[in-house]
Amino acid sequence: MKAKALPVAIAMTTALSASLLVVSSFDNQAQAQETFRWKMVTSWPKNLPGVGQGPERLSQLVEEMSDGRLTIEVFGAGQLVPGLEVFDAVSEGTAELGHSASYYWKGKAPAAQFFAAVPFGMNAQEMNAWLSYGGGMELWNELYDEFGVDVLAAGSSGVQMGGWYNKEINSVADLDGLKMRMPGLGGEVMCRMCVAIVNMPGGEIFTSLQSGSIDATEWIGPYNDLAFGLHQAAD
């Protein structure tokens, strides 16, 4: 059976195949010398601070711990597949691993949004407690069974911010017709306040905000937003 994995969770959380983290016993020397080269696709620009550097660090650690028997080549968004096609790439076997956020797959599995950032939901510590000790991981893997994907949470970027805007917002009426990049349940909330929701990978946000293709966006939080220069693109 092919080992698979995919991204997930809280805000900009990550996911790996369980088999990636298992230390196996080898029956003979020949097996012990067998080597593997896997591909990991991500929804982030290559080496983006925070979420983009995490997969690279993981790849290094896995190669060290496996004594070089397992190497993982990390692909940024658009290098092998588009950033929002990570789930499909893993499910279809184009790549063995994926690193992303589960709310991007709401069109395939609406409940996947509950394993990412939820408006007024759990913080990172509460989410990790639920996943590890409250049955969350079991539910998550059950949700992905039909797609042939295994998932493990591998971190969290924490609570996400409300966003950046190219117009001053003083009332709910100011949101009417606003074009905003916001995925998941947060986007659903904004949609009910007459915001036109646009979904796009992180690497396209700055130019879209600067050019006026969108009027507003959210990303992750101050550290990652600064890396994208969103404070320079928004008025």
Domains of the chain, first to last: 18-147 (3.40.190.170), 164-233 (3.40.190.10)
26 pLDDT tier (thresholds 50, 70, 90)? very low
- Please tell me the distance from the alpha carbon of residue 16 to that of residue 40, in angstroms, as a whole number: 9
Contacts of 31 (CB under 8 A, 6+ apart): none
32 pLDDT tier (thresholds 50, 70, 90)? low
In this prediction the pTM is 0.83
| Cβ atoms of residues 38 and 73 within 8 Å | yes
* Residue ranges of E strands in 32-172: 36-42, 70-75, 97-99, 164-165
46-99 pLDDT, tens digit per residue, is 999 888 999 999 999 999 999 999 999 999 999 999 999 999 999 999 999 999
- Please tell me the distance from the alpha carbon of residue 110 to that of residue 216, in angstroms, as a whole number: 24
For the chain, percent of residues with pLDDT exceeding 90: 69
Residue 11 is predicted with a pLDDT of 30
pLDDT over 50 (residue 16): no
Residue 190 is predicted with a pLDDT of 95
Contacts of 2 (CB under 8 A, 6+ apart): 93, 96
Which residue in 1, 31, 33, 34 sits closest to 19, CA to CA?
1
CA torsion, ordered 165, 171, 177, 179, to nearest 10 deg? 20
Pairing outcome for strands 164-165 and 216-217: antiparallel
140 pLDDT tier (thresholds 50, 70, 90)? very high
